[in-house]
């Protein structure tokens, strides 16, 4: 069977990187159309040069394209607000959506944790860049623990790699990531913080993950984290631990005071990550964007394989 035709809504940084990634690396997907709202955007210009159908009239313009009926999977790389309208249009046309915005209309999908669980859904959500980077680590702790009462993540990204879509969705980012930490990562309580760092030269994405776990050992967590890092590296080679995992034990005589949560006992695990991008379109410091587009493409490739029978 031929490749599954996809459409990308959003011709900004994320949409353009995704277009190039699919065009240059995917064996099961092809980009049939790129949709934007700015006729002067670099993404639309690059798509046109590559022979891909384009429109700058948004989703309504997409419906008028000759390729519309052939599109099977739609990526949305716009905003949480716009995604609601895009979802309605694509759902009514029977097209499956992979949502890269924080809208979270569909269930969360983190490839190394739960990729196969929701592939029949009309809409799957890729959480956020911070979620894609850190939820695998929370889950790595949870799968070897009796429970994870609390998990907190801090995602630091270069302000240069945070476009208008990211900046307009800061609240949705923190809320969606926190819910993803709980629903997918398995923590009972989750918290997320994002930092836009203006440092020059630009820093690559850095993520800090704190978990409080019960009923596990330092050795089991170290092993589980190392295995999970290797799994993520299969689709994001620049994903790595910045330093060794750190531990601190808190008991009845020395409790951990967590702001907004209270006093707690258990094993505190600190995991420090960095994510370097592949450099397909954006600079390598934009690992926050690369991990989103890599996860989205990986999810769509799994849909192509399991739903449409397209083998890699």
Catalytic residues: 129
Axis crossing angle, helix 287-306 with helix 129-142, rounded to the nearest 10:
70
Rounded Cα gap, residues 311 and 27, in angstroms: 8
DSSP string, the chain: -PPEEEEEE--SHHHHHHHHHHHHH-SSEEEEEEE-S-TT-HHHHHHHHTT-EEESSHHHHHHHSTTGGG--EEEE-S-HHHHHHHHHHHHHTT-EEEE-STT--S-B--HHHHGGGSTTSSEEE---HHHHHHHHHHHHHHTTSSEEEEEEEEEEEEGGG--HHHHHTHHHHHHHHHHHHHHTT--SSEEEEEEEE--SSPPPEEEEEEEEEES--HHHHHHHHHHHHHHHTTT-TTEEESS--EEEEEBTTB-EEETTTEEE-EEEEEEEEEE----SSS-TT-HHHHHHHHHHHHHHHHHHHHTT----
Rounded Cα gap, residues 47 and 32, in angstroms: 10
Give me the residue label for tokens 């000759």: 66
Least Cα distance to 16 among 59, 52, 62 occurs for 52
């Amino acid at each position: 069977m031929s490749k599954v035709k996809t459409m990308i809504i959003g011709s900004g940084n994320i949409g353009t990187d995704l277009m190039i990634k699919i065009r240059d690396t995917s064996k099961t997907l092809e980009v049939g159309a790129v949709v934007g709202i700015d006729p002067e955007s670099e993404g639309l210009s690059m798509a046109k040069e590559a022979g891909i159908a384009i429109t700058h009239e948004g989703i309504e313009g997409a419906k008028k394209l000759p390729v519309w009926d052939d599109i099977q999977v739609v990526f949305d790389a716009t905003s949480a607000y716009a995604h609601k309208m895009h979802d309605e249009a694509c759902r009514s046309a029977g097209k499956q959506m992979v949502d890269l915005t924080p809208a979270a209309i569909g269930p969360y999908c983190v490839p190394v944790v739960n990729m196969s669980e929701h592939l029949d859904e009309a809409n799957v959500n890729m959480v956020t860049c911070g979620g894609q980077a850190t939820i695998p680590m929370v889950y790595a702790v949870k799968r070897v623990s009796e429970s994870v009462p609390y998990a907190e993540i801090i995602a630091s990204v270069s302000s240069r790699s945070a476009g208008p879509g990211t900046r307009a969705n800061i609240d949705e980012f923190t809320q969606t990531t926190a819910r993803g930490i709980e629903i997918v990562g398995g923590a009972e309580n989750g918290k997320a913080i994002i930092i836009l760092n203006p440092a020059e030269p630009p820093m690559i994405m850095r993520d800090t993950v704190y978990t409080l776990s019960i009923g596990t050992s330092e050795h089991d967590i170290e092993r589980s984290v190392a295995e999970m890092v290797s799994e993520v590296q299969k689709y994001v080679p620049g994903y790595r631990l910045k330093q060794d995992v750190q531990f601190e034990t808190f008991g009845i005589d020395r409790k951990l005071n967590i702001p907004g949560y209270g006093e707690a006992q258990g094993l505190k695990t600190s995991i420090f990550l960095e994510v370097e991008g592949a450099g397909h379109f954006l600079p390598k410091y934009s690992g926050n964007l690369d991990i989103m587009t890599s996860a989205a493409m990986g999810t769509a490739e799994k849909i192509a394989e399991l739903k449409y029978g397209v083998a890699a």
